């Protein structure tokens, strides 16, 4: 599987965990574990959390119960974890928003992203693909960029809302190409894709698993993937770099615990997640949809969170992104 970014490659290098010996030092878990997903059911992080939780329950002999607590861009559910007892019985499965990015988008936060959580591990990264409406004439990135430069602000791009990963991807693409493309926020990625299919907007830079079915069905036209190398699921689609645009970006999802959670618990969880993702019955199904699997451990995930902050804060400040 091709690496999505150098950040994931860094994670792999840092990823060793010594959980077996550490797990033997703690009786955890002796009761059900709650895994809070700070978004509605049915999304990518919810699918990841449920798949991994089933494997963790079998491994540790206790239920791992997924609890969806959506709202405020994930801040409501994340705050529950931040303020929970650091005993390993309340976990967070989330995108990078509540863990890193929201602090730059929301005028006030109920917790401090720098101190509230103990990173457990990266669950997965979903690469981005730029798709245009079939009704548009552009067949490659060069043609799209030329059209955008010919009509500054005239092209429209949908996203899952202000500050979403789709919005951030758009701002990164605009910066990389020197274009001005109008952002159209929706309440989720699904309605943005619906409008793209209908031809009501020009383009969307979406997560591959979200839009892969529409690509294969011919409902939208993919122009390039924002990955280091071509994706096995879309082998005929060039990378942005191949198209002449220096743009690599994906959406990462991970697991965290309240700060102060015992290291043996963190290590045991990281080992359990890695084993789940290595299981073809869990990780194999996810990988088939274009998801790049994680499982590299706490240090790697902490490094990824830190780099996400460094990379995206200036983009958010420059674009003036604020929460809806």
Question: Which whole number is the average pLDDT over 156-182?
Answer: 95
**pLDDT tens per residue across span 30-57:** 999 999 999 989 888 999 999 999 999 9
Average pLDDT, the chain: 91
**Does 150 score more than 70 pLDDT?**
yes
**pLDDT tens per residue across span 67-117:** 999 999 899 999 999 999 999 999 999 999 999 999 999 999 999 999 999
**DSSP letters for 246-277:** ----EEEEEEEEETT--HHHHHHHHHHHHHHH
What is residue 217's predicted lDDT score, i.e. its pLDDT?
A: 97
Cβ atoms of 232 and 127 within 8 Å: the answer is: no
Where does 116-249 show beta strands of DSSP type E?
117-133, 156-159, 182-185, 203-207, 220-225
What is residue 144's predicted lDDT score, i.e. its pLDDT?
A: 98
Structure tokens belonging to residue 245: 């645009």
Question: Which whole number is the average pLDDT over 227-231?
Answer: 93
Question: Which whole number is the average pLDDT over 57-72?
Answer: 96
| Domains along the sequence of the chain with CATH | 6-125+252-319 (3.40.190.150), 126-225 (3.40.190.10)
pTM of the model: 0.85
**Does 26 score more than 80 pLDDT?**
no
Helix (H, G, I), strand (E, B) or coil at 57: helix
Torsion sign (Cα): 42, 44, 50, 55: positive
């Amino acid at each position: 599987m091709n690496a999505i970014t150098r950040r994931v490659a860094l994670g792999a290098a840092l990823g060793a965990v010594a959980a077996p010996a550490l797990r033997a030092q703690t009786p955890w878990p002796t009761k059900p574990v709650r895994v809070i997903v700070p978004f509605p059911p049915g999304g990518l992080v919810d699918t990841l959390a449920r798949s991994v939780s089933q494997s963790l329950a079998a491994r540790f002999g206790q239920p791992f119960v997924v609890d969806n607590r959506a709202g405020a861009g994930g801040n409501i559910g994340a705050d529950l974890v931040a303020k929970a007892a650091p005993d390993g019985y309340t976990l967070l499965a989330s995108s990078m928003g509540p863990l890193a990015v929201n602090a730059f988008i929301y005028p006030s936060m109920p917790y401090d992203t720098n101190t509230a959580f103990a990173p457990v591990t990266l669950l997965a990264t979903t690469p981005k693909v730029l798709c245009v409406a079939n009704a548009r004439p552009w067949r490659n990135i060069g043609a799209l960029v030329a059209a955008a430069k010919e009509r500054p602000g005239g092209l429209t791009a949908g996203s899952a809302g202000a500050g979403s990963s789709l919005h951030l991807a758009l701002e990164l693409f605009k910066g990389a190409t020197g274009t001005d493309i109008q952002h159209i926020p929706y309440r989720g990625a699904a309605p943005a894709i619906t409008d793209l299919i209908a031809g009501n907007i020009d383009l969307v830079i979406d997560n591959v698993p979200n839009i892969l079915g529409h690509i294969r069905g011919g409902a939208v036209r993919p122009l390039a993937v924002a990955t280091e190398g071509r994706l096995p699921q879309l082998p005929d689609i060039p990378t942005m770099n191949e198209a002449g645009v220096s743009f690599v970006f994906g959406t990462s999802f991970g697991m965290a615990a309240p700060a102060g959670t015992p290291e043996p618990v963190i290590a045991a969880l990281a080992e359990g997640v890695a084993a789940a993702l290595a299981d073809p019955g869990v990780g194999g199904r996810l990988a088939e949809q274009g998801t790049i699997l994680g499982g590299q451990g706490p240090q790697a995930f902490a490094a990824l969170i830190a780099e996400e902050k460094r990379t995206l804060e200036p983009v958010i400040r420059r674009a003036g992104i604020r929460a809806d």
